[in-house]
Amino acid sequence: MDKPVLVDSHCHLDYLQEKGVLEQAMTNAPDYDVYYMNTISTNMAEFPKVLKIANSYDNVFSCVGVHPCHIKDHPLVTYDELYEQTKHSKVIGIGESGIDLFHDKTTLDLQEKSFRTHISVARDTGLPLVVHTRGADYDTIRILKDEYEKGAFPAVIHCFSASRELAEESIKMGFYISLSGIITFPKGDVVCDIVKDLPIEKLLVETDSPYLAPVPNRGKSNQPAYTKYTAEKLALVKNVDYLTISSQTTQNFFTLFKKAVK
């Protein structure tokens, strides 16, 4: 029988490095079937650290972008700045970018401008866009559909906790949906109910480490290893076995992130 292989499709390994727990997390990961990780940039100032981590480990990939909650602190990232970084072999996607009105309602215009810049680079490079959306279903759908009509681009809605409508509109555009530890939380039932009806070949799993540790480690610092708990829960939700979920979500990851070389 094949052994299970998982990918943590979205984590922040630079934050683990700051806490001094990166080495241990890398050691733990294979014990929990996690053999690949995608470490995600949240602002351009920190991106060199993110890239350095990806370059230090064969099984770590990275994405370049500016999180919607970080745009206030820096000048807006330009198309050329993002595009330039996609030339690195370990940069396999664009993000995370998107709209977050949960943390900040006052910067929608800036967030939208930044989001559209990220989308242009994703479209032109063919590298998947990693979408962060929180408390902003309406605007996220509006912008994604508007941009998609101008020209297709690949994308994943990361840490999915939005509405059925957002999930369905995303699937229609060929996007993927990534599930985090949220599906293991009691309030995750709402999300699980939506995920039940989504095509299994469009699903990814992630930790968003160091945030959102799944049950049974909820409240602790998260690490890529814990992708396993989310995958186990997803297997239950989709009514398939753990090995099926691990091989399917890993295959989905490498189908979406075509530049990632195993």
Cβ proximity to Zn ion: between 157 and 260 the closer is: 157
x/- mask, Zn ion, residues 220-259, rule CB under 5 A, reads ----------------------------------------
Cβ proximity to Zn ion: between 33 and 208 the closer is: 208
- Find the binder of Zn ion among 70, 132, 202, 233 (CB under 5 A): 132
The nearest distance, CB 159 to Zn ion, in angstroms, is 5
The nearest distance, CB 131 to Zn ion, in angstroms, is 8
Residues 68-97 that bind Zn ion (CB under 5 A): 96
Cβ proximity to Zn ion: between 191 and 235 the closer is: 191
- Report the 3 state secondary structure along the chain: CCCCCEEEEEECHHHHHHCCCHHHHHHHHHHHCEEEEEEECCCCCCHHHHHHHHHHCCCEEEEECCCHHHHHHCCCCCHHHHHHHCCCCCEEEEEEEEEECCCCCCCHHHHHHHHHHHHHHHHHHCCCEEEEEECCHHHHHHHHHHHHHHCCCCEEECCCCCCHHHHHHHHHCCCEEEECHHHHCHHHHHHHHHHCCCCHHHEEECCCCCCCCCCCCCCCCCCHHHHHHHHHHHHHHHCCCHHHHHHHHHHHHHHHCCCCCC
Count the site residues for Zn ion by CB under 5 A. 3
x/- mask, Zn ion, residues 181-210, rule CB under 5 A, reads ---------------------------x--
Catalog residues that contact Zn ion under the rule CB under 5 A: 96, 132, 208
